[in-house]
Structure 1
Amino acid sequence: MTTSTRRILRIGPLYPRPTLTRAVRHSADIVPDSLPAPSRPLSSKRARTYLLPIATDFIVLSIVCSVTRIDRPAQFAAIIVAILALTGAYHPHLTLSVLDTLPRLALASTLAAMGTAVILTPNGTLVGAVKLAAVTLFALVLSRNATNAVERYFRRRLRGGRRTVIIGGGPVAKILANSMVAEPSCGLQLIGLLDDSLLAETAHNGNVPITPLRGNLCEYLTTHHIDTAVLAFPHAVDGAIIHALRECDRIDCEIFAVPRLWELTAVTGDMEHIGAVPLKKFRRAAHRSFLWRVKLWMGRVLSAAMLVALAPTLLAIAVAVYFSDRSAPVLFRQKRVGLDDRIFELLKFRTMNPASDHESATHWCIAHDARIGRLGRILRATSLDELPQLWNVIRGDMTLVGPRPERPHFVDKFRATVPNYAARHRVPTGITGWAAVNGLRGDTSIGNRTRFDNYYIENWSMWFDVKVLLLTAVAVIKLGGK
């Protein structure tokens, strides 16, 4: 870990939110943090923010549909709620305002009502669909007003706010701190401010206390039950901040950041705001989601199916490799580094003349390596030598799409010389990947590979995997491998 990385991970004592004033008090007036940790984890609070509007929408929609004599009101309500959930209409917001969400709510309710009318009343008229859309919007507005009122009560009266720290000690952090205290309905319970300023031990900015960072940020957030962290231009280099945040991938903590040039930034899409300060939310790491588990199991199922379907091809390649050099094994086995730096044995069809174990583990192969035979060049060009790795996927060593695995010797070397290289091992390695389909394989830049791999991890989706697999198929068909 670099010196700059260690600096951002220093953490000191934090302080509770002032209760006697609407401004953040002078550091001399604040006693050390004595607030008890919340009795419920953040996941239960998230469950409340999702389940409350869903249940309220279903009940209100059912009642309004019954009063307006719409057939099968419960079924209508269930389908509409399901469609709204799929469109992200139940995404929780820091600022509770029906007017802010009304345009999106109107569009979602109209589409949901039209779809519901087609499913349950295929012979209905356009007038009936419009009526249903109007009734749906009316019911949703009533429901959201009720839901927001209940949520405000929890946030204000029952201390249901999320324990929050601001990472930063400058003017923007001061504005944010004052806004959090002045607007308890945002649901953020300010615990304190953290910064890496060299003067943090003794200085403060106006009436905002600056507490120096010491220790490991991830461990501190976990130990002190911090639910939300807001980045507000701390005194640290971006690389150190990125490293610290990636270490927090596995904990249940929401991360927001004030965008650069925030005075010129419009609040759009999934952005939030506290007072007049826009916030960009870092989405929960995709590889910690339920869909990622679906990806892994789908990969195993597809790999098993491909092994069966490609059995004749695999047999033909195995026979060809065997007769190309009967003195060497058909399969090449080599130790590679996978998820969380675990070592596993990777399988490939042999494409090179046998080498010593030391040479195999430490020698970097290039495209025109003299040890590669004629058959080996064909197998490498078409990536057919990688097919035995389908068994690695079935065993759980790898997945279909992910960063390509590397040998331990080179992992240690690249970890010390290539920024963010270690972050590739947050996910299982893959047979193909975003870097590979962009031509970054073999004797190419490790820095570029790392950037492409981390881009894939940060932006992963099911469609991203489909896209990579399609591009891989096109490359194989065109013999585009190198």
Structure 2
Amino acid sequence: MTTENAGTANPSQVLPPPESRPRAAVHVVGPPRGAASRLLPPRPRRNPYRRRAVGVLVAADGLVALTVAVPAAAPSGGGPDPLALALFAVLLPLVLLPLNARGGLYRTALTASALDELPALLGRTATAWCAAAAVLAALHPGGALGWTTLPVVVAAHTLLACAARGAVHLGRRLVGRRRPRSALVVGTGPAGRRITTALQERSEYGMRPVGMVEPGETTGTGAGAGDEAVEGPAVPVPVLTRHEEIVRAVIQNAVRDAVFTRDPALDPETAALVPLFEDLDCTVWLVGEAARGAAASAAGAPRPREGDHLWGFACRRLATAPRRRPVELRCKRALDVAVAAVALVLAAPVLLACALAVRIADGPGVIFRQERIGLGGRPFTVLKFRTLRPRDEHESATRWNVADDRRMSTVGHLLRRTSLDELPQLWNVLRGDMSLVGPRPERPYFVQRFSGLHPGYAARHRMPAGITGLAQVHGLRGDTSIEDRARFDNHYIDTWSLWQDVRILLHTAGSLFRLGGS
């Protein structure tokens, strides 16, 4: 197994258990199976709020377009022209809905107002109707809209769309007051406490804070950047400091919003939390002076909506990285299954020879099974050829490096040096526990330890664990920097493509005979 350097003076020794720390009063989700699941809970359900909000607005705009298309296709008061009606019914939604989406009219906002959206609606509605009228005039000159009819249709459409969207926003606010969404506030300084208090006292924002997050405490650095040493209002919510506590709180309380009071671009600990909340499918907000400063300085950042605020605090939604489309993930899985199946067939003689060598050299128990942490923090059992028989299960789970252990036989050294001991993991790939390419899985003990030491380590679980990866092909194997490996793994996830997987597999195939295992 490729291992990492834990930063200890003697990494080959059994590490002591991690220091106990006071934990916030957050309910722990029951593990799906095994002791390892106590560290990281299973993946949460997808956030239905954003999809539902966008779907209702899209449906309202489409229904208004179809409603206005009927009288517009019969300007003389008689029956509608079939060609004009069909053209308007098809072309208007095809032009108008993408224009609205590009203009941010379907982005989630805290205090969305139809009056604030009216100018944007007017311009996009006029563009869609001018395009539809031009196409109709080219195809059917007799049914073309007159110069006096077109402005009336545009004005009527805009007013109806504004009224429909106003009704949708009103309904969302009423639902938010009755059933507020759970939220976490990132930052325990004065700004964070004031914003938490505002959310508790003002129900119109539809959020109920269930905890506060102190990013600086995750790595023991104290308060984050931008917090002043002044007192703010006390809030009766738990303070979360570790990534595992944040994940548990999100799942236990069905958290849908994360409210940041610090600019992630200015604070590394805060920046490490953004991909974590994105993977948990939370809407990420930037509120307060951080939102005002970030909006003014960030090139290409979405401009805050006029009138959108949180009780006077500037507010904008952070643009999140695009999620992997299901078709892309299915292609990755198809590549895994195809390559792993072919590799297992071709490597069958090698697998048999390795199994016989291990049986002769080390006795019974050819396959070694161990608990590892994979996608979304879920545990699975990894398979390897046994190269060393540990004294007990504790040593197997907590000993960092066994490459120089004198108990290892010549066969074990050869299997590890050639990485042939990892061939049974092709079966893990076929089962769906792992992928061919991805972050290397680690034991629960070290996942807990490294997640506390390195803020970006827990974010590696956004992608299925892999036999090889970007860090491995850059030489980060064995006793190498965990911080570097986490950085490479997160870069791979953020820039993932199917071709990148193919390139990494080709690099790995070229290095099989360089004896670079550990």
TM-score, scaled relative to structure 2: 0.56
8 Å contact from structure 1 (residues 194, 210) kept in 2: no
What does 1:229-268 align with in structure 2 at a 5 Å threshold? 229-232=258-261, 254-258=283-287, 261-266=290-295
SS at match of 1:345: strand
SS in 2 for 1:96: coil
Aligned AA (1:265): A
Match of 1:447 in 2: 483
The structural deviation recorded for 1:464 is 1.2
Amino acid at match of 1:146: A
Change over 3 Å in CA distance of 1:175–1:338 after alignment to 2: closer
1:303 pairs with 2:336: yes
Query: Residue 213 of structure 1 corresponds to which residue in structure 2?
Result: 238
1:29 corresponds in structure 2 to: none
Compute the displacement of 1:227 (Å).
Answer: 4.7
- Equivalent residue in structure 2 for 1:401, among 426, 434, 437: 437
**326, 329, 346: which is aligned to 2:383?**
346
Deviation of 1:266 (Å)? 1.6
With over 3 angstroms needed to count, the CA separation of the structure-2 counterparts of 1:373 and 1:254, relative to structure 1, is closer
Q: Distance in 1 between matches of 2:199 and 2:92?
A: 36
- The equivalent position to 1:96 in structure 2, one of 76, 91, 112, is 112
- What amino acid does structure 1 have at the position aligned with 2:259? V
Which of 73, 76, 82 pairs up with 2:91? 76
Q: State how far apart, in whole Å, the 1-side matches of 2:49 and 2:94 are.
A: 25
Task: Tell me if structure 1 keeps the 8 A contact 2:47–2:256.
Answer: no
Matches within 5 A, 1:355-394: 355-358=387-390, 363-365=401-403, 389-394=425-430
Q: Which residue of structure 2 lines up, in the alignment, with residue 53 of structure 1?
A: 57
Q: Distance in 2 between matches of 1:75 and 1:429?
A: 45
* Matched residue SS, 1:464: coil
Change in Cα spacing, 1:249 to 1:109, as seen in structure 2 (3 Å) is same
Q: In structure 2, give the amino acid aligned to 1:90.
A: Y
Conserved 8 A contact 1:84-1:90: no
Contact 2:46 2:281 in 1 (8 A): yes
> Cα deviation per residue 1:53-98 (whole Å; 9 max; x = unaligned)?
1111211222344425253444435645775698676332224357
Secondary structure of the structure 1 residue equivalent to 2:106: coil
CA contact (8 A) 2:383 2:422 kept: no
Identity score, percent: 25
Answer yes or no: is the 8 Å Cα contact 1:419–1:447 preserved in 2. Answer: no
The partner residue of 2:357 within 312, 317, 327 is 327
Q: Distance in 2 between matches of 1:160 and 1:453?
A: 42
Is the Cα–Cα contact under 8 Å of residues 185 and 212 in structure 2 kept in the other structure?
Answer: yes
What stretches of structure 1 of length at least 5 have no aligned partner? 12-40
Please state if 1:432 is matched with 2:468.
yes
Say whether the 8 Å CA contact 2:262–2:290 is kept in structure 1.
no
**Pairs within 5 Å for 1:36-47:** 45-47=49-51
Q: Tell me, in whole angstroms, the C-alpha distance in 2 between the residues paired with 1:302 and 1:217.
A: 34
Out of 60, 63, 67, which is 2:67 matched to? 63
Give 1:395 deviation, angstroms: 0.6
Distance 1:271 1:205, change over 3 A: farther
CA RMSD of aligned residues (A): 6.1
Q: Is the 8 A contact 1:218 1:244 kept in 2?
A: no
Note the alpha carbon deviations across 1:296-345, whole angstroms, 9 max, x for none. 6544433333345557xx53x54467679963479984434132362413
Change (3 A) 1:304 1:71: same
**Is contact 2:192-2:261 (8 Å) kept?**
yes
What do the CA deviations read for 1:442-466 (whole angstroms, capped 9, x no partner)? 4432221123334555x3xxx7142
Pairing partner for 1:146 from 158, 163, 169:
163
The 8 Å contact of residues 169 and 195 in structure 1, kept in 2 or not, is answered as yes
What code does the residue aligned with 2:167 have? V
Q: Structure 1 residues 85, 320: CA separation in 2 closer, same or farther (over 3 Å shift)?
A: farther
Gaps of 5+ in 2: 1-16, 27-44, 74-83, 223-228
Distance 1:473 1:193, change over 3 A: closer
Matches within 5 A, 1:447-466: 447-456=483-492, 459=494, 464-466=496-498
The SS at the match of 1:230 is: strand
Q: Deviations over 1:226-283 (max 9, x none)?
A: 653423259xxx7987898888778775442448754432265457552452445485
1:76 counterpart letter in structure 2: L
CA distance in 2, matches of 1:5, 1:334: 33
CA distance, structure 2, for counterparts of residue 226 and residue 150 of structure 1: 26
State the alpha-carbon separation in 2 of the partners of residues 58 and 124 from structure 1.
Answer: 24
Q: Determine if contact 2:100/2:121 at 8 Å carries over to the other structure.
A: no
Q: Which protein, 1 or 2, shows the higher relative CO under an 8 Å CA cutoff with sep ≥ 6?
A: 2
1: CA distance, partners of 2:247 / 2:55: 28
Contact map agreement 1:335 1:346 (CA 8 A) in 2: yes
- Name the CA shift for 1:397/1:165 in 2 (closer, same or farther; >3 Å): closer
Query: What is the match of residue 32 of structure 1?
Result: none
CA distance in 1 between counterparts of 2:178 and 2:352 reads: 67
2-structure distance, mates of 1:285, 1:6: 36
The answer for the alignment partner of 1:28 in structure 2 is none
The partner residue of 2:191 within 165, 172, 182 is 172
